[in-house]
Amino acid sequence: MTKIKILLLALSCMVGTVRTMAQELPNIIIIYADDLGYGDLSCYNAESAYKTPRLDKMAKEGIMFTDAHSPSTICSPSRYGLLSGQQIYRSTGGGGPAFEGPGGPSFLRPGTLTIAQMLQKKGYRTGVFGKWHVGLSWFDKDNKRLGGGFENSLLIDYEKSTPLIDGPNARGFDESFITPNCPTTDPLYVYIENGMVPVAASERHKSDNLPNLGGKWRWDNDEGWMAPGYNFMEADLLFYEKTQNFIKEHRKKTPDVPFFTILSTQIAHAPVLPAPEFNGLTNAGPRGDFVYELDVIVGRVLDLVEELGIDDNTLIMFSSDNGAEIVHVDWMREDYGHDASGGWRGMKRDAWEGGHRVPFIARWPGKIPKGLVSEQMTNITDVFATVASVVGYQLNEEDATDSFDMLPAMLGMQKDGEPIRPHLLTQSFRGEFQIRQGNWKYLDHRGSGGNQYEKGFMKKYALPETAGDAPGQLYNLSEDPGETTNLYYANEEKRKELQELLKHLKLSGRSAPKNRQPIGIEKLKGLGGQTKK
């Protein structure tokens, strides 16, 4: 046999091995909800005013975490955390705004590895559909980068701005269909497909053109510039349709290649605009119908993977970017006896638990045991290292620096009494830090970190400060889950310990351990998820 034939045979074997490995890797789907509080699913809230049967079923068929947290208490920084595995502090040196108008540039700086780029390296085809909201770069006719603000929307030169230099397709996604910000709240109201804008924003949107369900639920729909034909009412159905098409086309053309997709919904962000087919389907008003629409969409994703015969080889994860909106919490409590915060103090923007403790459910038949309920403390930044562990990707030290591998917990291999995370960081609306260590929680600031409790209807949720002029807050969540008694002065030793730890984690550039070793698909082969006894 000639040397050339031997070389060709060797290359053929190598290609065959790579294809076999790719076939064995699971498909991965992340469904990321918006402003969905800890108490907004009936599997987390037995007293919920409505049912979420498909998400409840997903939890029974997999694992639900009861101590999961969003990286931030507002949209954009949390989305950065999901995509990068890092706190927004690593990008900005502080906090980060929720972008509006042509806001940007992206929080995802060049050189920051994204979860999509990591999976591309493992042979995945990647897609993202829905709300983007981590910043984009737009330019005017003079090729000058535009800042945020609604007035700048009309200054965009679409030819000079597209394809977007820092959009999803420049950050690891093969296919994308997104809106720049919240699709029903913040102009610019345009669709962006694979870095291009098919229809520019040229019409003035007026809020009065949308229904105001219940006389108040249209709140937070900002007027601005929109693309002709832009559909506010069925945004999430459109995002699901694009997700469905991506998965079906991928399975049809390249069934031997795994896929990764993020479906980023705008439910349950204000304004509350359920698609017409869902109006009145619950007894909990427009927002109940809205969350039920989300539940149905999750059900459609689950049904889709089953219909395609890939159910057992698909890992699906569901979570939310922060707690529920303040007026939504108030109105749902007052009108329907429903607590979107799930009994925790605080709401969206707040540093208290209700601002960042969120639902987190994962399902992977045959790998994740059925019926697991985990008390492991986790952050949505951990999705990155967990997925890396699944696919056997060795993270570099500079990648996903706030991400811990939660796969042992998902597989039922880690006891709750053996925490994976020794500590956890979150950031509030103003970018201020909170740190957990076990049941101890330290806030490096006074007050909520977000909302103003001395004004309007928020006054009724204000609690007296128990530590006088203390510049920070210290709580023992095991004894005081409602964060009512500030121990800042009462436990000086623990407070100083957490202050020093926070300082170290900020200065060191990471909170995650070094030399993270992935489990990998080969080790996972021998594992079969069993129902928890």
Q: Does domain 22-524 fall into CATH 3.40.50.300?
A: no
Under 8 Å between Cβ of 134 and 76: yes
Strand partners, 357: 69
Reported as type and span, the H/E element at residue 250 is: helix 235-253
- Residues found in the chain: 533
Rounded to whole angstroms, the Cα distance separating 474 from 479 reads 12
Whole-number pLDDT of residue 115: 99
- Asked if the model's pLDDT at residue 279 lies above 80, the reply is yes
**pLDDT tens, residue by residue, 95-129:** 988 888 888 899 999 999 999 999 999 999 999 99
Q: What is the mean pLDDT of the chain?
A: 94
CB 68 within 8 A of CB 32: no
Span 425-434, pLDDT tens digits: 999 999 999 9
Distance of alpha carbon 201 from alpha carbon 83, whole angstroms: 27
Structural domain boundaries in the chain: 22-524
Place of tokens 């409590």: 333
Q: Per-residue confidence at 13, pLDDT binned at 50, 70, 90?
A: very low
Q: According to the model, what pLDDT value does residue 11 have?
A: 47
CA–CA distance, 147 with 105 (Å, rounded to integer): 8
388 pLDDT higher than 80: yes
